[in-house]
């Protein structure tokens, strides 16, 4: 389960993951109630492996068996961090949480550490492995932005896209082939506001 701070980020990252061949689905406040329930049911039934959610949209929902929680955007309120990571490692099950931290997030990250009373260790990564994925991820992000722009244009047209399920993974299947087969362009895989990401891991969830 991946938490994002905005509806736009949840939608965009879901599209990016689909373009990489990962069955992700968003859950946010700009979706209709039916689509939100549909997304939740697809995640619960395991027909989708990753749920991209905002704090507001996921509040109060019972989502069992979450193996990993990723904070793509660090929460503004430290208590939201506890609510997020508390969705994994329930009822004696194992689980982990990972938080992406940029240089802009250091103060928020330190507040979280102060609240929970412990230092969160850096998540171990191999730089060579990460660099091998940069090109594919950058290309997937580029296509995701294009799809977001197209979806925005469709919403502006009267009666455009009625009856379509824009949240289904099949929408990105053609793009996914391009990402897998294309050479793409270089560039960073960050959030668009610069900065190198670090990671904190809190194993066990609570």
Q: What is the pLDDT of residue 158?
A: 62
Q: Which residue has the higher pLDDT, 193 or 103?
A: 103
| pLDDT of residue 140 exceeding 80 | yes
Q: Categorize the per-residue pLDDT at 195 as very low, low, confident or very high, splitting at 50, 70 and 90.
A: very low
Cα 166 to Cα 14, 71, 156: the distances in Å are: 12, 24, 15
Q: What is the mean pLDDT of residues 187-197?
A: 37
Cβ contact 64:153 at 8 Å: no
Determine the Cα–Cα distance for residues 118 and 139; give it in Å rounded to an integer: 37
CB 9 within 8 A of CB 72: yes
- Percentage of the chain surpassing pLDDT 70? 76
36-40, 47-51, 93-97, 140-144: least confident range? 93-97
Going by pLDDT thresholds of 50, 70 and 90, the confidence category of residue 97 is: very high
pLDDT of residue 1: 95
In which region does residue 159 sit, left (phi positive, over 0), alpha (psi from -120 to 50) or beta (all else)?
left
Give whole-number Cα distances, 97 to 102, 109, 175, in Å: 17, 14, 30
Identify which has the larger pLDDT, 157 or 154.
154
Is the domain spanning 2-201 CATH 3.40.50.300? The answer is: yes
More confident site: 67 or 162: 67
Query: What average pLDDT does range 162-176 have in this prediction?
Result: 47
Q: What is the mean pLDDT of residues 72-88?
A: 93
Taking residues 17-28, what's their average pLDDT?
Answer: 96
């Amino acid at each position: 389960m991946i938490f994002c701070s905005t509806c736009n980020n949840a939608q965009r990252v879901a599209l990016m993951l689909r373009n990489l061949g990962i069955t992700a689905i968003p859950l946010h406040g700009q979706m209709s109630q039916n689509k939100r329930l549909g997304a939740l049911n697809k995640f619960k039934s395991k027909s989708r492996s990753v749920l991209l959610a905002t704090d507001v949209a996921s509040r109060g929902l019972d989502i069992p068996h979450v193996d990993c929680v990723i904070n793509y955007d660090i929460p503004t309120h430290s208590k939201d961090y506890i609510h997020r990571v508390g969705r994994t490692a329930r009822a004696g099950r194992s689980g982990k949480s990972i938080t992406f931290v940029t240089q802009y997030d250091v103060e928020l990250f330190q507040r979280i550490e102060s609240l929970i009373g412990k230092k969160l260790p850096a998540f171990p990564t191999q730089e060579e492995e990460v660099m091998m994925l940069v090109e594919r991820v950058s290309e997937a992000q580029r296509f995701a932005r294009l799809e977001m722009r197209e979806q925005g244009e469709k919403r502006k047209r009267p009666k455009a896209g009625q009856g379509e399920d824009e949240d289904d993974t099949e929408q990105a299947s053609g793009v996914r082939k391009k990402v897998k087969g294309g050479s793409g362009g270089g560039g960073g895989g960050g959030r668009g506001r610069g900065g190198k990401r670090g990671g904190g891991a809190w194993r066990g969830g609570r």
